[in-house]
Chains A and B, each alone.
Chain A
């Protein structure tokens, strides 16, 4: 495979990347010939740049169509061939008959990722519908040459629709690059004007000549060696291409076809391809989540909030029908009653002791059972008092000489109960 060198849009010459499907259209006519399976005519306009060797910044518009990228590359190559034929007439031209595809390539010194990211932002604003006509605009203020609009009909083959063809091209490009040598950038400037057959001269033997109408093959033999030295694939573009291939993006074009029209350098093509593929992925990711899901989340959140609020209200102040019958609770009267019964029961222990011993006990420790919270006060050999306190601190006294009427009533009730049990 003869080596080719294509001039980048900044004026630097980079090796031609055959996988991009096209050479620098501004450098030489595309000689790459492919087996045509279908024809596509695309009308493009290319400017005739002035004789300048300074790096230029060209605007390029990347247009996507419904065809695969290889078709665009083929079309681009053919258009490049036609443009290059014009450009070779002027020795001092940079032959940067780049198509204005609407995207500023910018500084090609950027790394592959940076270039791709830049292209992504710019490509996102582009109109996807191909117009079939590309207008090249030279934005270099230093360029005093008025661009000449020229319509060039090229035939685009879609043989690159097939995956195996794309794979083949990519493999060829990678194999070509591996043994490539760097060619000084200064030599490329001097040889710009002399580039007559740039595209596909090294591939001319692989593709029938009748598939590339409008191409001039007269200068193929004479400039093949020069072309090999002039076209060079930059390392950034190669890295980007390799990454694309590893990610499978080179075979994941789907229905989106990158139609670059009049192609730029292979490096530009790679970047534009990557940008378009990334844009397609981004669009797919955006539209993956249906709008209805987002709306559904809102009403679900509102409904959940309302239900939580109702649950909190019911928990704090439950309605009557939710509450069951309340359990029994102790009252002060119940506690006072229990206190008096305790004193009566304790007095029974003292009376039992006196009945057996015929005397009063000296303390409650002498009796058989002692109830908690009761004090024994002996006021003589025959009289005593039992004292207990309520929860409020009030003292309740049981006087053995004259018990209170409440104690008598309780005693009668319990005696009656015991008699009946």
Chain B
């Protein structure tokens, strides 16, 4: 008897299963790389936001002589809104930005006027410098995030000389230019 072959076209169930298995294998090999790239993108985006806020704050300080007023987390200071025109909120899915400001006390040497001796032939007294406490302000950019890897990446990028991590916050101390 004549054997009639199947004239069906297209993918069979077996072909679909094999294709699915191949896709799963490709995904297993590429998923770690894709995830790392995604994280790098997140870090770069966060660094861009920090740099933008820092640049804007320094510009305000240079114009006004004072840092912007501190705000709550996620609230952008009005004087810095121009730096983020399309986004009035500093809240992201992975982190939240905050502008802060602190006072620091520095001991500076202050020269005092010399004391003239009572007698004409006596040697004048030595001029002694005095340390004077001077209070000045510094700015601060805080990143609130539950992603420890993000905080660690920021800490590694900016160093421990000007930033630190405390609980779920990474803080960058912004100094005035030329200070």
On A, residues with C-beta under 8 Å from B are 283-284, 287-290, 293, 296-297, 300-301, 303-305, 307-308, 310-312, 314-315, 318, 322-325, 327-330, 334-335, 337-339, 341-342, 345, 348-349, 351-352, 355-356, 368-369, 371-373, 413-415, 417-418, 421
Contacts and interface: CB of A to CB of B under 8 A. Distances in A.
Contacts of B173: 345, 414
Contacts of B165: 330, 334-335, 338
A355 B166 CA distance: 27
A307 B175 CA distance: 57
Interface in B157-172: 160-162, 164-167
Nearest to B135: A352
A330 B32 contact: no
A26 B105 CA distance: 130
Nearest to A371: B166
B94 to A, nearest CB: 13
Contact of A323 (B12, B15, B32, B148): B32
Q: Which of A290, A325, A330 has the most CB of B within 10 A?
A: A330
A355 B28 contact: no
B132 to A, nearest CB: 10
B64 interface: no
Given A287-B2, A300-B17, A351 B24 contact: no
Contacts of A293: 6
A342 B6 contact: no
B59 interface: no
A342 B175 contact: no
Q: Which of A287, A312, A334 has the most CB of B within 10 A?
A: A334
B14 A297 contact: yes
B5 interface: yes
A318 B32 contact: yes
6 contacts: A284-B4, A287-B2, A300-B17, A327-B149, A369-B100, A369-B101
B169 to A, nearest CB: 8
A407 to B, nearest CB: 13
Contacts of B24: 307-308, 311
Contacts of A328: 149, 152-153, 155-156
Contacts of A305: 21
Nearest to B102: A369
Interface of B: 1-6, 12-15, 17-18, 20-22, 24-25, 27-29, 31-33, 36, 39, 70, 100-106, 133, 135, 138, 148-149, 151-153, 155-156, 160-162, 164-167, 173, 175, 177, 179
A413 B157 CA distance: 18
Contacts of B166: 335, 338-339, 341-342, 371-373
Nearest to B19: A304
Nearest to B132: A355
Contacts of A369: 70, 100-103
Given A328-B155, A338-B164, A418-B175, A311 B18 contact: no
A393 to B, nearest CB: 14
Contacts of B2: 287
A414 B161 contact: yes
Given A322-B29, A338-B165, A287 B4 contact: yes
A288 B14 contact: no
A288 to B, nearest CB: 4
A301 B18 CA distance: 8
Given A287-B1, A330-B165, A301 B135 contact: no
B179 to A, nearest CB: 6
A329 B14 contact: no
A301 B14 contact: yes
Given A327-B36, A327-B153, A355-B135, 5 more contacts: A290-B5, A314-B29, A325-B36, A338-B165, A369-B103
A315 B18 contact: no
A310 B156 CA distance: 37
A142 B31 CA distance: 84
A351 B152 contact: no
Contacts of B20: 304
A314 B25 contact: yes
